[in-house]
Amino acid sequence: MNSGIDLQGSFIESLKDLGLSQGVAKVLWMPLPMLLMILGATVGVLVCVWLERKVSAAVQQRIGPEYAGPLGVLQPVADGMKLVFKEDIIPAKADSTLFTLGPVLVVLPVFLSYLIVPFGQHLVITDLNVGIFLWISLSSIAPIGLLMSGYSSNNKYSLLGGLRAAAQSISYEIPLAFAVLAIVLMSNSLSTIDIVNQQSGYGILGWNIWRQPVGFIIFWIAALAECERLPFDLPEAEEELVAGYQTEYSGMKFGLFYVGSYVNLVLSSLVFAILYLGGWESPIPIENLASWFGISETNDTLEIIDAAVGIAMTVLKTYFLVFFAVLLRWTVPRVRIDQLLNLGWKFLLPVSLVNLLLTAALKLAFPFAFGG
Amino acid sequence: MFNLLKQVTDYAKETIQAAKYIGEGLGVTFDHMRRRPVTVQYPYEKLIPSERYRGRIHFEFDKCIACEVCVRVCPINLPVVDWEFKKEIKKKELKHYSIDFGVCIFCGNCVEYCPTNCLSMTEEYELATYDRHQLNFDNVALGRLPYKVTDDPMVTPLREFAYLPKGISEPHDLPKGSQRSGQRPEDITQ
C-alpha cells in the first residue's frame, strides 16, 4: 500500500545531506510536531468555544458574539485575554499547593493525549503500539486533579463538585474502555494508525460505525460524561453547586479548567472520529477517485492532496461531533446523580460488556468482516 | 424465566422510547437554528416604546397647584412637594418638587390622578447612574424631555410586534413605506 508523505523521513534525510548526524537531525525534528500539535490544540479550543457560543445562540434564536472580529471569531481570544489579566486569588484557608496543582493535573494529561492523535499515515507525533490505551489511562488522571482542586478549595460546593467528578469519571471509564476494547479486538492493534488503516479501503462503508452500532453510542455517551458535557455536567451544575470544583478559582487557573474542558471535548471528538468514523479517510477513498481519473498513486500532487484531504476530513468529522455535542447540550436536560450512576453501572456497563462479547463471537464467526 | 424475559423486553422498549424522544428533541433544536434571531441588538438597535409605556415621569412646574394628590395616591408617598401658602394671593406657591426614581415603581397613579395634568409618563427607560442618589430627580430634571429613539442617528429604531404591518412579524428590513395596521394618530382628523 502507498504510504503517502513521510515528513519526518524527508526532513531527517535533508538534514543528513547537510552533514548532520542521524541523532542530531532527529532531535531537531522532534519539537516541530509537538509545537504544531499544541498550537493546533489551542486553535482548536478557540474554534470550539466560538462554535459553542454561535451554535448555542442559533438554537436560542440569538445572534451570539458579533463585534469581536468578523462574525465574532475573536471572542474566545478576548475571553482568554480577560482571564490572563484577571487577579489570581487563592482563598485564605485553601491548601495553596494542591489548589495550584489541581488545574495543572487536569490540563496536562489532556494535552499529552494529543501524542497519539493521527491526522494522516505519518501525521502523528508518536505511533505508539499502545496508542489508544495511553489515551484511556491519561484520561483517568484528570479526576484526581478535579478531586484535588475540589478538596483543597475548602468550600462545600467545590468538594461536592470534585467528588461528583471523581464518581462520574470512574463509572464511565469502564464502559468507555469496553467500547474501545471492542474496536481494538477488531483491528488487532491498540495503535491509532492501525485502527484507521483497518477501516480504510471501502470508503464510508468500511467505517467502524457500521460494525459497532451499539459500541459507538456507548462510547459517545461515556465520552460526554468524561468531558462533563451537558447531560452529564453534574460536577459543575451551576444551579446546584455554583460551579462545582471551579467555584473558588479565578484568573488563569480557572482558564486552565476552561481550556482543559474544551480541549478534552475536541480530543474526545477526535478519538471518536478515529475509532468509528475512519479518521483521516474520506467517505469516498481518494485512491479510488484517482484510479477512476487515471492518475497514478505515486503522483506527487496526489500525495499532497491526499494528506490535505486527510487533515481536512479529520477536522471536519471532529467539528461535526463537537457541533452535535453542543446541540445535545440544548436538547437534553441534566441527569440527577442517581440517574447518572444508574445509567453508568446498570445500563452502559452490561450493554458494553455484551457488545464486547458479541464482537468477539462475531470475529470468530466472520473473520473476514470483523478483522480476523 | 418468562418474567425475566418480559423485564428485558420492557427495558429495551423503554430504551428505544428514550432514544426516540432524544431524537425528537434534537429535531426541535436543529429546527430552531435556521430561524431568524428574535433579539434586538440593544445599544445599536432599540425598540420604539409604545405610547402607553410607563417610563420616567415628566413634570411641568408651572401647571402644578401643589395639591399633593400625587403624594396621597402614591403607594409609598414618594413625591416631595415643597410649598408655601402666600396670603396675598390666597394660593399655595410651589417651591420644589422631586421624585426619587430609585424608589418609584412606575405604577402611574400620580399621573392618573393629577388634576392639572402636570405629571406625564415619558418613554425614557435608560436611567442607569453610578450613584443611586442621582436618581432623585428635582423639578428641573423632571422637566427635561427624553431623547426620542427615532431621532438618534446612532440607533436603528425598531417597531414592537403590535406596531408592525399586518402579516409581518420581524421589525428588521421592513418594506419601504410600510405602515402599522390601523391609522396613525395624525391621520385621524375628526
pLDDT in tens, A167-217: 888 888 899 999 999 888 888 888 888 888 888 777 777 788 888 888 888
3-class DSSP state of A226? helix
From residue A344, alpha-carbon distances to A74, A170, A352, B25 in Å are 38, 10, 10, 22
Cell numbers for A359: 464482537
Contact residues on chain A for B29, CB-CB shorter than 8 A: 59, 327, 330-331
Contact residues on chain A for B15, CB-CB shorter than 8 A: 347
pLDDT at A346 over 90: no
Rounded to 5 degrees, what angle do the CA atoms A120, A121, A123 make? 55
pTM of the model: 0.80
- Do A331 and B39 lie within an 8 Å CB cutoff? no
Q: CA of B40 to nearest chain A CA: how many angstroms apart? A: 9
Q: Phi and psi dihedrals of B156, rounded to 5?
A: -90, 110
Residue to mutate among B33, B40, B45, B172, with most A CBs inside 10 A, is: B33
- Do B38 and A61 lie within an 8 Å CB cutoff? yes
Distance, CA of A180 to CA of A171 (rounded, Å) = 15
Percent of chain A beyond pLDDT 90? Answer: 7
Average of pLDDT values for A156-164?
A: 87
Block residue for cell numbers 504544531: A36
ipTM of the complex: 0.71
Check if B26 contacts A (Cβ < 8 Å): yes
Residue to mutate among B29, B31, B38, B42, with most A CBs inside 10 A, is: B29
- Nearest CA among A264, A2, A302, A315 for reference residue A139: A264
- Do A66 and B41 lie within an 8 Å CB cutoff? yes
Check if B30 contacts A (Cβ < 8 Å): yes
Report the pLDDT value the prediction gives residue A258, as an integer from 0 to 100. Answer: 87
Contact residues on chain B for A66, CB-CB shorter than 8 A: 41
Give me the total of CB pairs closer than 8 Å, taking one residue from chain A and one from chain B. 34
Distance, CA of A307 to CA of B70 (rounded, Å) = 79
Average pLDDT score over chain A: 84
3-class DSSP state of B157? strand
3-class DSSP state of B45? strand
pLDDT at A343 over 90: no
Per-residue pLDDT of chain B (190 residues; tens, 9 = 90+): 788 889 889 988 988 998 899 999 999 888 888 888 888 888 888 888 888 889 999 999 999 998 999 999 999 999 999 999 999 988 898 999 999 999 999 999 999 999 999 999 998 888 999 999 999 999 999 999 888 888 888 888 888 877 777 777 777 777 777 776 666 667 777 6
Find the distance separating the first CA and the last CA of chain B, reported in whole Å: 87
Q: Would you say how long chain A is, in residues?
A: 372
Q: CA of B173 to nearest chain A CA: how many angstroms apart? A: 16
Distance, CA of A319 to CA of A49 (rounded, Å) = 11
Quick one: closest CA in A to B31, which residue? A59
β-strand partners of B80: B98
Distance, CA of A325 to CA of A303 (rounded, Å) = 33
Contact residues on chain A for B21, CB-CB shorter than 8 A: none
Strands B156-158 and B45-47: parallel
- Nearest CA among A332, A327, A335 for reference residue A60: A327
Report the pLDDT value the prediction gives residue B52, as an integer from 0 to 100. Answer: 86
- CB atoms near residue A349 (< 10 Å): 17
Cell numbers for A12: 531527517
Q: Between these two residues, A371 and A109, which has the higher pLDDT value?
A: A109
- Do B29 and A57 lie within an 8 Å CB cutoff? no
Check if B36 contacts A (Cβ < 8 Å): yes
Q: CA of B47 to nearest chain A CA: how many angstroms apart? A: 16
- Do B32 and A61 lie within an 8 Å CB cutoff? yes
Q: What is the dihedral of CA A66, A68, A74, A78, to 10 degrees?
A: -120
Average of pLDDT values for A23-35?
A: 80
- Nearest CA among A13, A183, A39, A197 for reference residue A125: A39
Cell numbers for A353: 460488556
Helix (H) or strand (E) holding A111: helix A96-112
Q: Report chain A's C-alpha Rg in angstroms.
A: 22
What's the 3-state SS for A307-340? HHHHHHHHHHHHHHHHHHHHHHHCCCCCCCHHHH
From residue A283, alpha-carbon distances to A267, A274, A280, B53, B113 in Å are 21, 13, 10, 59, 75
Asked if residue A186 lies in contact with residue A360, where contact means CB atoms within 8 angstroms, the answer is no
B86 CB contacts (<8 Å, ≥6 apart)?
Answer: B92, B93
Report the pLDDT value the prediction gives residue A4, as an integer from 0 to 100. Answer: 58
β-strand partners of A159: none
Type of residue at A20? L
Helix (H) or strand (E) holding A220: helix A213-227
Q: What is the tens place of the pLDDT at every residue in A263-295? A: 899 999 999 998 888 878 777 777 777 777 777
Check if B172 contacts A (Cβ < 8 Å): no
Q: CA of B36 to nearest chain A CA: how many angstroms apart? A: 6
pLDDT at A1 over 50: no
Dump strand ranges (E) for A159-200: none
Report the pLDDT value the prediction gives residue B115, as an integer from 0 to 100. Answer: 92
Q: CA of A251 to nearest chain B CA: how many angstroms apart? A: 26
Distance, CA of A273 to CA of A192 (rounded, Å) = 11
Q: CA of A326 to nearest chain B CA: how many angstroms apart? A: 10
Check if A332 contacts B (Cβ < 8 Å): yes
Residue among B22, B25, B39 minimizing CB distance to A62: B39
Residue to mutate among A61, A320, A343, with most B CBs inside 10 A, is: A61
Q: CA of A160 to nearest chain B CA: how many angstroms apart? A: 29
Q: Between these two residues, A339 and A121, which has the higher pLDDT value?
A: A339
Contact residues on chain B for A55, CB-CB shorter than 8 A: 33
Q: What is the dihedral of CA B92, B98, B104, B106, to 10 degrees?
A: 70
Distance, CA of A267 to CA of A135 (rounded, Å) = 10
Percent of chain A beyond pLDDT 70? Answer: 97
